[in-house]
Amino acid sequence: MPAAPLRETRIAHIGIAVDSLEAILPFYRDLLGMPEVPLGDSDGARITGLAAGDALVELLQPERADSPIGKFLAKRGPGIHHICFKVDDLDGTLARCLDAGHRLIDQVPRLGAEGKRIAFLHPASTAGVLIELTEY
Amino acid sequence: MPAAPLRETRIAHIGIAVDSLEAILPFYRDLLGMPEVPLGDSDGARITGLAAGDALVELLQPERADSPIGKFLAKRGPGIHHICFKVDDLDGTLARCLDAGHRLIDQVPRLGAEGKRIAFLHPASTAGVLIELTEY
């Protein structure tokens, strides 16, 4: 059986660290007109999604100061926290990144929000950008 | 004649400030498999685009230290600089943002790269995120 063609890498979501979901939600939802998408909590953060085509803007408000987003806010203030790309072959992509000398936060994929397989790359080897990879 | 239906707000591109296009390009192009899109210079930066579905990742390398990207790099180091959303009605969206008390960097749209009408919102009123708006 021939292999299925690879699907292109796309933006899955942009994660934005915020002090208050309630304060910024009207900007994205009402002024930019992005539909709100219910999302659960993850990694100690409350998440509100906003649809932008087939990608999401994810607003991340920490529930605890010692959560990853809580620490980010304390250090850098509110702003863009990470970009998540969906790729066709997560394991193969991670192996290629490791071979090329990139630093992985997750050596093997773990389960993220909604049971999806995800892995983070360290921003030190991606020009300062925290990158999450997930699978189609 | 009835009004045309509004098109949804989508991510046009994510702008990333980098010290060296050459150093990071292989990561996006070869490891993540994103096709390179030729883009010109803009605002004192060399830009390389990478296709992610119908959005772009734009890598921005300053040509001068006193350019907007040069100043950003000096102050914050490499990382995500801005998100650009394409909206259906740029003038109407800007008017709504102004009415709601948001701070605009561009009071009226100006011409950006490739002759598109664009306007930036100030991050002080968008939870720390520099947001560019452009039109379909």
- The shortest C-alpha distance from A46 to chain B (Å) reads 16
pLDDT score recorded for residue A12: 97
Residue B3 within a domain: no
Q: Which of B24, B52, B123 sits opposite A11 (nearest CB)?
A: B52
* pLDDT tens over chain B, length 136 residues: 566 677 899 999 999 999 999 999 999 999 999 999 988 888 899 999 999 998 999 999 999 999 999 999 999 999 999 999 999 999 999 999 999 999 999 999 999 877 899 999 999 999 999 999 999 8
Is residue A3 over pLDDT 90?
no
pLDDT score recorded for residue A136: 87
Contacts of A17 in chain B (CB under 8 A): 128
pLDDT score recorded for residue A114: 76
Q: Which of A78, A102, A128 sits opposite B128 (nearest CB)?
A: A78
Sequence-ordered list of residues with C-beta below 8 angstroms from that of A131, at least 6 positions apart, any chain: A82, A83, A84, A85, A120, A121, A123
Residue B5 within a domain: no
Is residue A31 over pLDDT 80?
yes
Mutation target to probe the A interface, by most A beta carbons within 10 A, among B18, B22, B32, B91 is B32
Mean pLDDT taken over chain A = 94
If one counts every other C-beta atom within 10 angstroms of the C-beta of residue B97, the result is: 21
Residue B73 within a domain: yes
Structure tokens at B125: 């009123």
DSSP assignment of B77-131, as one string?
-SEEEEEEEEES-HHHHHHHHHHTTPPBS-SS-EE-GGG-EEEEEPGGGTTT--E
Whether the CB of A92 is below 8 Å from some CB of chain B: the reply is no
Q: Do A14 and B14 touch (CB under 8 A)?
A: yes
Rounded-to-integer distance, Cα A27 and Cα A71, Å: 24
Total domains in the fold of chain A = 1
Q: Which tens digits make up the pLDDT trace of A59-87?
A: 999 999 999 999 999 999 999 999 999 99
Size of interface A-B (CB pairs under 8 A): 122
Residue A3 within a domain: no
Residue A5 within a domain: no
Shortest CA distance from A23: residue in chain B: B127
Contacts of B53 in chain A (CB under 8 A): 8, 10-11, 53-55
CATH number for the domain including A37?
Answer: 3.10.180.10
pLDDT score recorded for residue B15: 97
**Average pLDDT rounded to a whole number, residues A24-44:** 93
Shortest CA distance from B95: residue in chain A: A31
Q: By residue range, what is the domain housing residue A36?
A: 10-135
pLDDT score recorded for residue B6: 74
Q: Do A31 and B129 touch (CB under 8 A)?
A: no
